[in-house]
């Protein structure tokens, strides 16, 4: 079933998890147009991150939960700058390490460590499910967070299990720096250079519209979306589209709200509704 999307241009709005989506689309022959929606910077105030590192060294963690590979890399970058990276790695080697998907595991490998367990689903819910099977009573647990996400459900679940949770947020997103990417993507849709826009979370819808409004491109965005098939991974994204008066053209079958079923639905819809883009 390879090459089902050969010749089609698919626009994806990149957030942290879109690299895998891009790879899956490319494997099907799609020309993937990637639109980064933010740039990543170190935490604007390094003091809380440095304090977390020193606590981890002076009062070693029993458990470490990594939500992103980027998070560990930023922590290690600051630890190296402060000359305590070897000390940090030494204490983390003794802790149980859990990762949300494979990317944090790869970052652990870069410093000579490995995860004891990785979620089957790279989501917050997957982390809660994985850790919910463990006895965390009285354990000191380091939790690396990422920006623009409400983590209260996760921290609440871990605290309810008896863990002493010590959180760290080692980086920040700068969405304004990426606005030019979004405006260029809007121009591409308006010019008919995109066959389908693939959306995998509702934040992408909001960000797209906010950037269009900020740059006076809302009318052009809506005109571009009239020319472009809109693919939604599931009801949450479709609901957000509808809230802004936008339609959903393509969606996976009910209860199959994942990337691969979405790609299959896109291939079927594009073959039926759109000629392939030449060249």
Q: Among the three residues 133, 157, 173, which one is the final residue of a domain in this structure? A: 173
- Give Cα separations from 125 to 128, 132, 153, 154, 278 (angstroms): 5, 10, 9, 8, 42
Q: What percent of the chain has pLDDT over 90?
A: 75
Query: What's the rounded Cα separation, in Å, for the pair 88 and 85?
Result: 5
Q: Which residue has the higher pLDDT, 149 or 18?
A: 149
Are 160 and 248 contained in the same domain? Answer: no
Residue 23 placed within a domain: yes
**pLDDT tens-digit map of 126-171:** 999 999 999 999 999 999 999 878 899 999 999 999 999 999 999 9
Is the pLDDT at 258 greater than 90? The verdict is no
Residue 14 placed within a domain: yes
As a whole number, the mean pLDDT across the chain is 92
Helix H or strand E segment including 142: strand 140-144
Residue 134 placed within a domain: yes
Query: What's the rounded Cα separation, in Å, for the pair 228 and 249?
Result: 9
C-alpha Rg value of the chain to the nearest Å: 21
Is the pLDDT at 278 greater than 50? The verdict is no
**What does pTM read for this prediction?**
0.68
What pLDDT was estimated at residue 17? 60
Residue 3 placed within a domain: no
Are 236 and 191 contained in the same domain? Answer: yes
What pLDDT was estimated at residue 275? 53
Are 166 and 47 contained in the same domain? Answer: yes
Buried b (16+ CB within 10 A) or exposed e, 49-78: bbebbeebbeebbebbbbbbbbbbbbbbeb
Tokens, residue 146: 């990422």
Determine phi and psi for 141, rounding to 5 degrees: -120, 120
Q: 123, 109, 142: which is closest to 259 by C-alpha?
A: 123
Name the pLDDT band for 279 (thresholds 50, 70, 90): very low
Are 183 and 128 contained in the same domain? Answer: no
Q: 193, 199, 190: which is closest to 244 by C-alpha?
A: 199
Q: Among the three residues 144, 173, 202, which one is the final residue of a domain in this structure? A: 173
What pLDDT was estimated at residue 123? 84
What pLDDT was estimated at residue 201? 84
Residue 279 placed within a domain: no
Are 139 and 124 contained in the same domain? Answer: yes
Name the pLDDT band for 174 (thresholds 50, 70, 90): confident
Sheet containing 96-99: give its strands across: 117-118, 96-99, 63-66, 140-144, 164-168
Are 98 and 189 contained in the same domain? Answer: no
Is the pLDDT at 198 greater than 90? The verdict is yes
Are 81 and 18 contained in the same domain? Answer: no
Q: What is the mean pLDDT of the segment spanning 241-254?
A: 95
Tokens, residue 35: 């639109």
What pLDDT was estimated at residue 105? 94
What pLDDT was estimated at residue 20? 79
- Least confident span in 18-32, 91-105, 223-237, 242-256: 18-32
Is the pLDDT at 24 greater than 80? The verdict is yes
Name the pLDDT band for 1 (thresholds 50, 70, 90): low
Name the pLDDT band for 178 (thresholds 50, 70, 90): confident
Name the pLDDT band for 101 (thresholds 50, 70, 90): confident
- Least confident span in 11-25, 49-63, 202-216, 257-271: 11-25
Residue 183 placed within a domain: yes
Q: What is the mean pLDDT of the segment spanning 35-57?
A: 93
Decide: helix, strand or coil at residue 51: helix
Question: Structural domain of residue 218, as residue ranges?
Answer: 9-38+175-273
CATH number of the domain within which 198 lies: 3.40.50.10090
What pLDDT was estimated at residue 50? 98
Per the structure, the count of domains in the chain is 2
What is the DSSP code (8-state) at residue 140? E
Are 168 and 253 contained in the same domain? Answer: no
Helix H or strand E segment including 174: strand 171-174
Name the pLDDT band for 75 (thresholds 50, 70, 90): very high
């Amino acid at each position: 079933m390879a090459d089902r999307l050969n010749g089609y241009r698919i626009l994806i709005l990149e957030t942290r998890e879109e690299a895998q989506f891009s790879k899956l689309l490319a494997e099907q022959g799609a020309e993937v147009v990637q639109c980064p929606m933010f740039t990543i910077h170190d935490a604007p105030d390094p003091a809380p991150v440095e304090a977390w590192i020193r606590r981890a060294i002076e009062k070693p963690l029993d458990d470490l939960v990594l939500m992103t590979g980027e998070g560990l890399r930023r922590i290690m970058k600051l630890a190296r700058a402060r000359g305590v990276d070897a000390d940090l790695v030494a204490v983390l080697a003794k802790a149980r390490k859990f990762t949300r998907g494979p990317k944090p595991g790869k970052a652990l490998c870069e410093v000579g460590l490995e995860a004891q367990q990785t979620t089957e689903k790279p989501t917050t819910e997957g982390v809660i499910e994985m850790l919910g099977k463990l006895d965390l009573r009285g354990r000191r647990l380091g939790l690396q967070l990422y920006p623009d996400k409400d983590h209260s459900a996760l921290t609440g679940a871990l605290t309810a299990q008896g863990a002493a949770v010590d959180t760290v947020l080692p980086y920040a997103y700068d969405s304004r720096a990426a606005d030019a990417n979004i405006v260029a993507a809007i121009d591409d849709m308006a010019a008919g250079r995109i066959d389908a826009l693939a959306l995998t979370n509702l934040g992408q819808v909001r960000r797209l519209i906010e950037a269009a409004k900020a740059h006076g491109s809302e009318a052009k965005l809506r005109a571009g979306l009239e020319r472009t098939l809109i693919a939604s991974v599931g009801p949450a994204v479709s609901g957000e589209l509808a809230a802004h008066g936008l339609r959903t053209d393509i969606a996976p079958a009910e209860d199959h709200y994942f990337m691969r079923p979405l790609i299959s639905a896109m291939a079927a819809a594009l073959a039926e509704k759109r000629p392939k883009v030449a060249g």
